[in-house]
Amino acid sequence: MLASASPRRLQLLERAGLTPDLLNPTDIDETPRRRETPRALSIRLAGEKAERALEMPLVRELGPNAFILAADTVVALGRRILPKAETVDQALDCLSLLSGRSHWVYSTVCLIAPGKRMSTRCVETKLRFKRLSREDLGSYIASNEWRGKAGGYAIQGRAEVFVRLLAGSHSGVIGLPLYETVHLLEGAGYPVFQSWVSAPQSEV
């Protein structure tokens, strides 16, 4: 079960050969606490999403052997947490701050396995944007890809052309670090690679 409405996280799971039995997004307060670091915020929110999902009726119907996955991604410039841009002004503020500078993306995956065993992994990825021109900013704002995205950009879209350096997890920046997700599932006894054996071969 995936506690997210994000089509990008679902696509990432499917790329790893995993299809959730249920998509059940959770609604929590994502406001950072006073003096909370970006990493701590990402870890806390992923855990709260998983715990909230555990209480939902549709998830309970899956029974005690369900595996619940939740994730959260935070974009930060130093200790400054950047918002999920909902307005043009917010997006411009975020992109102007990131222009020509390095920033960090903290992506946490949380797994609640049968027996309510919780485990988490947080991945830190460093990115550096090129210096953005007025044309870059105007064109990207017009694309609307930034809307609802942490830091005001989506690396799986046009914003990838702004990235001069990425050190860490590309899938984590998109929203779900695949290596860590699969590692948690394997460790909890989920047959991750069974679907690879039974699935038809695909051309790469």
d(CA 84, CA 86): 6
How far are the Cα atoms of 13, 112, 153, 181, 193 from residue 23, in angstroms, in the given order? 12, 15, 24, 16, 21
CB contact at 8 A, 148 and 90: no
- Please say if 72 is a catalytic residue: yes
Q: Where are the beta strands (DSSP E) in the chain?
A: 68-77, 80-81, 102-113, 117-129, 163-167
Residue with tokens 């991750």: 192
21, 27, 29, 72: which is the annotated catalytic residue?
Answer: 72
Catalytic residues: 72
